[in-house]
Amino acid sequence: MNLRACIASLYLAALCGAAPAQAEPQAVPRAVPSVDLRSYLGKWYEIARLPRFYQRYCVSDSIALYTQRDAHTIAIENSCRTENGDIRTAHGTAEPVSGSNNAKLQVTFLPPFSADYWIIGLAPDYSWSVVGSPGRKSLWILSRTPQLAPAALDQARAIAKAEGYPIDRLVYTPQTGGQAPSR
């Protein structure tokens, strides 16, 4: 083997060795078996979330209000408090995905764009919920009350972790009860 072939072989071997091993694709998260939409409607307080650009101005008091718009559509009103104390609000709609028993929704805030909203964890009494996107870029832990009991939060976090979400990146949302955040 000449020197040029030997160097080329070593270079190729180094490249192959440096290439990351192909990880097996992770299965998509599992949604809960079914959701009673009437029980799911109402006010939800955001307890924690993965950071997303569209919530970059939200510093506290993030709340979601879901109401029945018509037989197939849920109206969404999301609000949060910004650093200067103003309330920022976004309006959208959600529609259940056929065949998901209402556990997967298509959410639209800016037509024609929509996003997947999968309910991956839900307390039997609908007191808390874990919602994520199948790509694991979005995640919210929601509660019917401004604070979530530590045991319930641990359970919600465990569900998210088991489904492959990076819970170490969660941002916890202060719920101040309407008080402007301290600066």
Tens digit of pLDDT at every position of the chain (183 positions)? 443 433 333 333 333 333 334 344 479 999 999 999 999 999 999 999 999 999 999 999 999 999 999 999 999 999 999 999 999 999 999 999 999 999 999 999 999 999 999 999 999 999 999 999 999 999 999 999 999 999 999 999 999 999 999 999 999 999 998 654 443
Amino acid found at 91: H
**Strand extents, DSSP E, the chain:** 42-49, 60-68, 74-81, 87-96, 104-110, 113-122, 128-132, 139-143, 171-172
- For residue 112, give the CATH number of its domain: 2.40.128.20
Residue 117 is assigned to a structural domain of this protein: yes
Residue 7 is assigned to a structural domain of this protein: no
* SS3 call for 8: helix
**Residue range of the domain that includes 68:** 41-169
Whether the CB-CB separation of 122 and 156 falls below 8 Å is answered with no
Residue 6 is assigned to a structural domain of this protein: no
Residue 144 is assigned to a structural domain of this protein: yes
Whether the CB-CB separation of 29 and 134 falls below 8 Å is answered with yes
Report the domain count for the chain.
Answer: 1
Residue 158 is assigned to a structural domain of this protein: yes
Residue 29 is assigned to a structural domain of this protein: no
Question: Global pTM?
Answer: 0.83
